[in-house]
Amino acid sequence: MAIMRQSALLLACATGLFASAAAIAGPYASRDIGGWTVAPSKDGSGCFVTRTFDRPGETTLLLGLDLDGKNHLSVLNTHWSIKPQDRLKLDFRLSNGGYTKHFAVGMVSEGKQGFVTSFETKFPTFFATSKILQIFRGDVPVERLALDGSGAAVVELRTCVEAQRDKPVKAGPDERASDDIPADPFAADPKRKLRSTKK
């Protein structure tokens, strides 16, 4: 049950990030850093760094970082046959270590199929200091992606997250005064008058 909830949460995060690839108004505008694009998520929950690699199927890699420090990694390709919600066990190898039989969930975004997963909070640092990311499904190689420039991109990713965290929160419609709220809603005959702010 916990795995299903985790899978649903990962899919929601990844889908939201891919859907917000365009720059949005706010304290941080998307920018290119050494071949990577860093941008805020549309819902203000964090930021992501992404890159599309020039190869068959145009593999897209996306690393998202939330305000609470959680991360999620998505890799997609137009040639892959992964279906949404597929449960996968993949091996991830970085220059400085790896993860064996790590869980991943199938997803589809912008015409590409792929997967999303998450790692420990230190993963963005490992990602930033690695030269390559290799992914395997058992003995089958899935991808080998050069991470040139990922160090500067992850530094900028963290800057973006801090900008999102410092963004002022606007009052929603429920927080503003409304003329249908009586001055005294507990009176015997409540009059629908706007509560005065004058003293």
Give the Cα separation of 107 and 190 in Å (integer): 53
Q: In order of start, what are the domains of the chain with their CATH numbers?
A: 2-174 (2.60.40.1880)
In the prediction, which pLDDT does 117 show?
Answer: 98
Q: Which residue has the tokens 């200091």?
A: 129
Give the Cα separation of 61 and 72 in Å (integer): 11
Helix (H/G/I), strand (E/B), else coil: 32: strand
**Cα of 181 vs its chain's centroid, Å:** 39
In the prediction, which pLDDT does 8 show?
Answer: 47
In the prediction, which pLDDT does 10 show?
Answer: 54
Task: List per-block mean pLDDT (blocks of 10 residues) for the chain, which spans 199 residues.
Answer: 47 50 58 95 92 95 96 97 95 95 96 96 96 96 96 96 75 53 65 51
List the one residue out of 10, 61, 19, 44 whose CA is nearest residue 161.
44
